[in-house]
Structure 1
Amino acid sequence: MDVGVYGMGRFGAFWAQELAKYHRVKVYNRSDRPLPVGVMAATLEEVCLSETLFLCTAINSLPDVLRQISPLLGPGTLVADTCSVKVMPSKWMLEILPPETPLLATHPMFGPDSAKAGTQGLPLVLYPLRHATEGAWFWKKSFETQMGLQVLEMTPDEHDRTAAYTQGITHLIGRVLGDLKLQPSPMATKGYRSLLEIVQQTCNDPYQLFLDLQTFNPYTKEMRHQVQESFTRTREVLETALDTGTSGE
């Protein structure tokens, strides 16, 4: 299949290179970037005429990108976002792109770090938004049989409810721990080393991704509130133990 990829950031370059193992891939980026192995550079007009166009752009910039590509899309071009949240990007695609444009919501729940050893068994969320039944079937089959992914079909709302307490909370904890400037130690336990791995994975991603995960998912605000309440309860238990003399201090 002729595939276009818009955006050559860290994830976009990785995604284009993975797709190029099985498809003919053209990429467009607003500024010059080194090309991943197996892909071809193209103009914006050229990638918009692809059979499938994957949008690999920051969540907060997606509305502007959609307005940019809208008049350039070829007849029948399937547009698929790859955003880490789904409710708002799905709403934007439905509102901004032409009503005849097939739309597919996707979220590859991995990136260059978590796919270092390959994509086998990694999860990808997919949902046909509009005129995309055939496209969804094609990509589900390609993702599963060629890339070895575990494809999960769920609505944008179901995705965001779940992601707030999986991906959202992971990035929140990773950034909080990263702010503490934790360092490796020769006496580190396995649990501590696992925490450092979380910090490394989450803090390797652009800070804008962290902000977008926390602000464009309608369910992360409640998640953060629950985390804060849990922290407060735990602190109160410790303070009570200190006050009553039941602690070791």
Structure 2
Amino acid sequence: MLVGVYGLGRFGAFWADCLSARHTVLGYSRNPKRKTGPSVTRVDEATVLECDVLFLCVAISALEDVLLRIRRRISADSVVIDTCSVKVYPIRLMDSILPPSVSLIGTHPMFGPDSGKSGIDGLPLVFCPVRTPEETAAFWRSEFGNMGLDVRDIGPHDHDREAAYTQGITHFMGRVLDDLRLEPSAIGTLGYHKLLEIIEQTCNDPFQLFLDLQRYNPYTGEMREKLEQSIKKMQEQLGAGSEQSWLDRPISGS
């Protein structure tokens, strides 16, 4: 079985290397400077579209253009698997744009080059079979399990709802904290150093991923509104000007 990876950005190159441990993997990127492991064969676009199975590892915001570009060029009986960090939007696009003969599976590997740098064994992968024979879905469910992944069957809306309050809020807070220009501190607590780790992990990813996570998940707007309400609630509990009230108050006996 020939497995193709379309898009060799930071995640795509990492994922191609993971797949190459069990499959012959061909990789395509518009950028010839993208680096991949030695077990991944770089090919042109036409060649990668001939693969039996095609993993789409492109930005969420670029997916529609890619699907429109390849829909008449992929093999009629191929299996297309997306790896986007949201699921409702890409599954809807694939189902609408790609030919009915093409089998579709939605996935979200809940890890990346940073969290998977020491190996992917035990890490979760969300699995959403869309338009595919049960035997094909069963094969890839089993195959991901054989790679050591913790395969979770979750519907697209359930995934996006939960991801908004896990991955979405993590990336949002990472960018907010990064904007504060926080620095390492010799007296920083363990909790503070964990915050710096969140900044490093989330801001290592392209800013486009952050934008796409917030814009293409139908539940992240609700998450941000609730976050804003919680911040406002904490501010109200502190009281206006509370940080100055004790500074200005005379001390008894002075």
| Structure 2 counterparts to residues 9-158 of structure 1, below 5 A | 9-32=9-32, 33-145=34-146, 147-158=147-158
Q: 1:242 to 1:201 in 2, by over 3 A?
A: same
How many Å separate the matches in 1 of 2:181 and 2:242?
28
Consecutive aligned runs of 4 or more in structure 1 exceeding 3 Å deviation: none
Deviation at 1:240, TM superposition (A): 5.7
How many Å separate the matches in 2 of 1:135 and 1:189?
49
How many Å separate the matches in 2 of 1:104 and 1:191?
39
* Contact 1:28-1:47 within 8 A present in 2 as well: yes
TM-score (ref. length: structure 2): 0.93
Q: 1:178 to 1:132 in 2, by over 3 A?
A: farther
Aligned residues: 248
Indicate the percent of aligned positions where both proteins have the same amino acid: 52
How many Å separate the matches in 2 of 1:162 and 1:31?
34
Does the residue aligned with 1:117 lie in a helix, a strand or coil? coil
Bigger Rg, structure 1 or 2? 2
The corresponding residue for 2:189 is 189
How many Å separate the matches in 1 of 2:47 and 2:144?
24
* Contact 2:76-2:99 within 8 A present in 1 as well: no
> Per-residue CA shift, 1:89-118, capped at 9, x if unaligned?
000001110011100000001000001111
TM-score (ref. length: structure 1): 0.95
CA RMSD of superposed structures (Å): 1.9
Does the residue aligned with 1:76 lie in a helix, a strand or coil? coil
* Contact 1:104-1:132 within 8 A present in 2 as well: no
* Contact 1:100-1:131 within 8 A present in 2 as well: no
Does the residue aligned with 2:99 lie in a helix, a strand or coil? coil
* Contact 1:4-1:48 within 8 A present in 2 as well: yes
* Contact 2:14-2:36 within 8 A present in 1 as well: no
